[in-house]
Amino acid sequence: MNIDENASIKELQALKRKIEKKINSKQSGKEDLSKFYDLIKNDHARHKREDGRKVFRGVVDYLECYIKGLPPIAKASFYERFGIKGKRSKITPEIVQNVKSLLEQGATLQTASDESGVSPATCQKIKKGDYDS
């Protein structure tokens, strides 16, 4: 038995499987959605900020906007537009000082987080010294 013959048999079997997959996909009757891939990819790529960064973290965020019937805008812009406060807040030196003073007065992490507007985990990090400059 020749090795070249074995390689050609394997190639033919691979081609046969590939052709059978195509036949099965054509017979399934489902619409081929892959034709929309390039449209989505190109439209996703054109949404960029002024500094060149992407507006969306990924295509999933982008498609989520279309599924929900929203114009494709960044979440931050979406929150600003409708007056929704984002989940994350910017940790400023004022917030760090406020949390430190509350913790020095004997306040719990939860109380300090409620008064300063940051999460208890962030208060814990401030207490630990992660935000010290």
Summarised one tens digit per residue, pLDDT across range 55-107 is 666 666 667 776 776 666 655 666 666 666 666 678 889 999 999 999 999 99
Q: What is the dihedral of CA 14, 16, 17, 20, to 10 degrees?
A: 160
**What average pLDDT does the structure give for the chain?**
76
pTM: 0.40
| 1 band by pLDDT with thresholds 50, 70 and 90 | very low
Q: Distances in Å between the alpha carbon of 127 and those of 91, 111, 121?
A: 13, 13, 10
